[in-house]
Structure 1
Amino acid sequence: MLIQTASWGELEIETTQIYHFPKGVPGFEEETEFALIPLEEDMFAYLQSTKEQELAFLLADPFNYYPDYEFELPEADKDELQIESKVLVRCIVSLKDKVERSTLNLLAPIILNPDKQLGKQVILHNSAYQTKHLLWSEDNRIASLKAGE
């Protein structure tokens, strides 16, 4: 399938890369289909709308930067995403002018079911996590290096 992107122009993707977000993403509820496009070394990926070329989110695996990151996914979300075994957790990265000030949104992770190709951004209620955790703090650099070993 060919999609149009702002960053790469026309891009061919596999149907296995497409995730359906039944309720969209908060702020973009009308956009319900996104392609997960891994970047080199799988440290980052883009979640690219299949219809709106200007809409894409940079994602990272939060466990590479915050190995102790944990939360309980509510049963209602598990049911909605039809999660039985496999699940991918990714968080939105906000890039800053000074890259070392870039942040990761741990409060609202993107939950993906690769078996059913379903996705949802889940807001964690009653959580100590915030929308802006430094991506590259000194502790995170060490954890990231260890994860890449």
Structure 2
Amino acid sequence: MMIQTMAWGSLEVDESQKYQFNKGMPGFEQETEFVLIPFADEPFSYLQSLKNKDLAFLLADPFQFYPNYEFELPEEEANELQIDGNVVIRCVLTLKDQVEQSSINLLAPLVMNPDQHMGKQIVLHKSPYQTRHPLWSQSIDVEGSE
């Protein structure tokens, strides 16, 4: 299927990359259809709106940056997404001019069911996570300890 994007213009994507977000994304409730566009061999991907070529979210696999990241998916959310087994977790990134100041939103992960092609951004209540965790903090710590 051919889609329009701001970053790449026309882009051919597979139907299996399409996800339905029944309630949209917070702040973009009218946007309910997206495609997940992964970067080859990278922990990053784009979530591109199918209705609005100017709306895309840069996502990352949170476990690549925070290996101990964990949360309990409420049963109500799991049922809504019809999750039986396969699940994809991604978090929204905020890029800054100075890349080392970029952050990842661990408080509101995107939970996606790749079997049913459904997704939802879940706000974790009673969580130690924040909307702006440093993205590169672990690599900086590792470099600083050498």
TM-score, length basis structure 1: 0.92
Aligned-partner Cα distance in 2 for 1:92–1:130 = 12
Note if 1:16 corresponds to 2:6: no
- Give the 3 Å change call, closer, same or farther, for CA 113–141 of structure 1 in structure 2: farther
Q: Compute the displacement of 1:51 (Å).
A: 1.1
Note if 1:96 corresponds to 2:96: yes
State the SS of the aligned residue for 1:64.
Answer: helix
State the SS of the aligned residue for 1:41.
Answer: coil
Aligned-partner Cα distance in 2 for 1:138–1:84 = 33
- Give the 3 Å change call, closer, same or farther, for CA 36–140 of structure 1 in structure 2: farther
Aligned-partner Cα distance in 1 for 2:100–2:140 = 11
Which residue type is aligned with residue 73 of structure 1? L
Aligned-partner Cα distance in 2 for 1:76–1:125 = 14
TM-score, length basis structure 2: 0.94
Runs of 4+ in 1 over 2 A off after TM superposition: 138-142
Structure 1 unmatched runs, 5+: 143-149
Q: CA RMSD in A?
A: 1.2
Count of residues in correspondence between the two structures: 142
Aligned-partner Cα distance in 2 for 1:140–1:72 = 29
Aligned-partner Cα distance in 1 for 2:58–2:44 = 7
Which residue type is aligned with residue 119 of structure 1? G
Q: Compute the displacement of 1:141 (Å).
A: 7.3
Aligned-partner Cα distance in 2 for 1:139–1:89 = 21
